[in-house]
Structures are given as C-alpha cells and as structure tokens.
Amino acid sequence: MELKLATAEKQVLEELVKLVQSRGLCGENGGWKEFLDAKDKKKIGSPNDPSKRSHDELVAFLTTFKKKQDLQVLKCHANFLLIDKLEQESPVQSLVRLTVEHPAYSLDYSFEPHSEDWFVSDVGMKTSKVMESTEMVAVDCEMVLCDDGTEGLVRVGIVDRHLKVILDEFVKPDRPVVDYRTDITGITAEDIEKATLSLVDIQETLQPFLSNGAILVGHSLNKDLEVLKIDHPKVIDTALVFKYPNARKPRRASLNNLCKSILGYEVRKAGVSHDCVNDATAAMKLALAVIEKRANTTIPPSKEMLEVEKAKLFIHKIPHNVTSEELEQVLSGEFTLDVKPAKTSRGCYCAFVVFRSSKEADQAFENVDGDQGQDSFGLPQKLVVFKLTSGSRVSIYVRKMVEDGSA
C-alpha cells in the first residue's frame, strides 16, 4: 500500500484524508487529528487542512490504515475520483465516459460493501500516466447456479485489444452446483471436475492489467465483475454504450443484435451454447469499431431484429430457487432458455425464451396457463403460479417482447 500511495497525486491523497475525516476512520495510530498531534507535538498553529500538508505527510498518515475493509474504502474513493476526472478527447476514454454516464451505471456497478475475497483495483492511486492508459482487455464469464442461490464462476475468457486470447479456462466453483445451465453455458459436471483454477487464480491473472490502468471491456460487464469479485473503475460496457433511437424506455441491445448491426455477423445462434472467448472477442470488436472506425453508437432496429424479438418471450421475477428444468415446464413447444442472473445473491432472476419463429412464440404464450394483463409499458404478460418439485408454490411473469400487431 505504501508504494501505491507514494505514486498517487497529492490532490487524490488530500481527498482520501478528507474522506477519512468525514467517516471518522482511524488507522493504527488513530485518526487525522491524533496523527497530527503526535507529529507536530507542541507546534502552535500547525494546519489541519490536508491541502496545507506535504505529499509525504499525507502518505505517512494513510499508510497507518492496515485493515482490508479500510483499504477497500480508500481504493474505491480514489477510483471514483479517477472516473470523475476522465476527459473525452481520447476515443477510448469517451467510451468509458459513455458507460459511467449511463443512468444504469450507478446501480449496476455499485458493488460495495465488499467482502474479504473481493479484489478492489488500486488504479486511482497511481500516476496520471497509469490512470490515463488506453490499454484494453475484454472479459466474459460463464456462470452456474449454486445451492445458496448465488452465481458460481465456472469459465472465463479474456482477450486483448489485438484479439489475442489471454485466458480461456474452466474454474472450480467454491460452492455446490445445482444447475449447470448446460444448454446456455455448454458446461457439464465433467468439465468442472477437470478444472484446476480458482477464483483467486483468475483475479491474480487480471491484477497486473488492472494495476497498470487497463480498461475492462465487456457486454453487461457488471455481471462478470460481480462473479469475479473485482471492482475496477475503468470499464467499457457495450450494453450501456450502444442504444436504440427514440426508444420509449432505455432498452439495452443484446450482444448478438449489436454484432449483426455493427459487425455484420451473429455471435450467438439459436440452440448453440455460449462461448465466453467469442463473446469477449465480440465486445472488444464493438469497442474497436467505435474507436477506430467511428461506428455510430445509436443503432436502428432492423426488420430482422424485430422478427427476432417477436420470436422470444420474457420471463421475469423468477425466485432464485426455481431451476431451469422447472422453468421449462411452464412453457410448451421447442425453445432455448437464455437465463440472466439476479443482481443480488438471493434476488429474483429473469430469462429470455427463444423460439424458432414468432408464430411459435405467440402459440406458446397463448398456451401459458395464467392471468393475462399488461406490464407498465403495455406489453402483454401473464402471471403464472405453479408448484416446484419441493412442493412449494411460486409465481412468475411471462411476457411478450413486442406489442401485438407491431410492424
């Protein structure tokens, strides 16, 4: 921590001391006042204002904080200050700015409080050169459902700016798995049995990139960072960067739709499981399309995209204890489930149901046994109550993706 603080800008150190004062935090030798009393002893008129103190004095005080929880608080605040100073002249930094200025950013990327096993980036305490680095690495993870209702990391794909694969490995989860979501993840119990890496190993692989100021790139990257237990301020989230024009609500474009619209290919085909390296590569290509080719971040929905949306249903407010197999019993026909993890460990999750055609999706919705109504935006949906294998009864909502009769 001392070396990291020694390279920090004085203005950052001043703000960290002010944070310590406002929160009443104490290091090994007490708070800011106690530190100054011990240092100045009987000097009269010594300034308490951090801005009136030298860089070395500020470092000396802040290095008295040894508890991991206190260090995480200091790092997070330094990272916040870093984001607040980002300039838009660089095309790369402008994408970071687009991400952090999105209305959903503050909620999606609020990971505090951190448990002991989180890695909190220290980039906000580095020199300006490190903080302004435009190096990028893209990340995508595959997750399974664990017995405590949380997401477990089971595979990680990482690529650099040149699309070179840095890592593509299975990860052994630290909790028992109750649903491998094989249709989506492509991962089986046999794959996990062969895994030798842990979450800590993945954090250690990424740590040098993050400490050197690299920008993390991904699609809905907050979900990957949450399961990786990494808090890093410099991120480009393609789900927040790109948007549809004249949208009646801030609806996010899927990775597949972005690839079709901007890159001209599908990264995911119906019925084919995810590949985290392919998804990480796609996210990096999307970022590079804006940075190097000045691609527009506003994308028009094509007729094909609308047809794709019509061929889907959306299930939401799904209790964490409902498995994919139990969810499939609610619907009829041939389809693929695309599960989206909950934002909290025991919260409700959601899933897209992908059919081969809009006709099949409409028929499946018609066959759902439930009370029909509309959501807050007027889309048709049904409230479904059914019994789990455990005997308990739960309720979910099944909704159409577009209004009836949309052209």
Share of the chain above pLDDT 90, in %: 50
Span 204-213, pLDDT tens digits: 999 999 988 8
Of the spans 54-63, 78-87, 264-273, 340-349, which averages the highest pLDDT?
54-63
Listed in sequence order, the residues at least 6 apart from 311 whose beta carbon sits closer than 8 Å to its beta carbon are 354, 355, 356, 357, 358, 360, 361
Which pTM was predicted?
0.69
Residue 396's H or E segment, with its range, is: strand 393-400
DSSP state of 183: H
Separation of alpha carbons 223 and 342, rounded Å: 9
Q: What is the pLDDT of residue 271?
A: 67
Span 31-49, pLDDT tens digits: 998 888 888 775 655 678 8
Separation of alpha carbons 36 and 32, rounded Å: 6
Q: What is the pLDDT of residue 364?
A: 96
Q: What is the pLDDT of residue 247?
A: 56
Q: What is the pLDDT of residue 43?
A: 62
Which of the two residues, 79 and 173, has the higher pLDDT score?
Answer: 173
Span between the terminal Cα atoms of the chain, in Å:
59
Residue position matching structure tokens 């049904």: 382
Q: What is the pLDDT of residue 2?
A: 45
Kindly report which listed range (24-28, 150-154, 280-284, 342-346) carries the lowest average pLDDT score. Answer: 342-346
Which of the two residues, 22 and 5, has the higher pLDDT score?
Answer: 22
Of the spans 180-189, 216-225, 319-328, which averages the highest pLDDT?
216-225
- Provide the token pair at 300: 């028009």
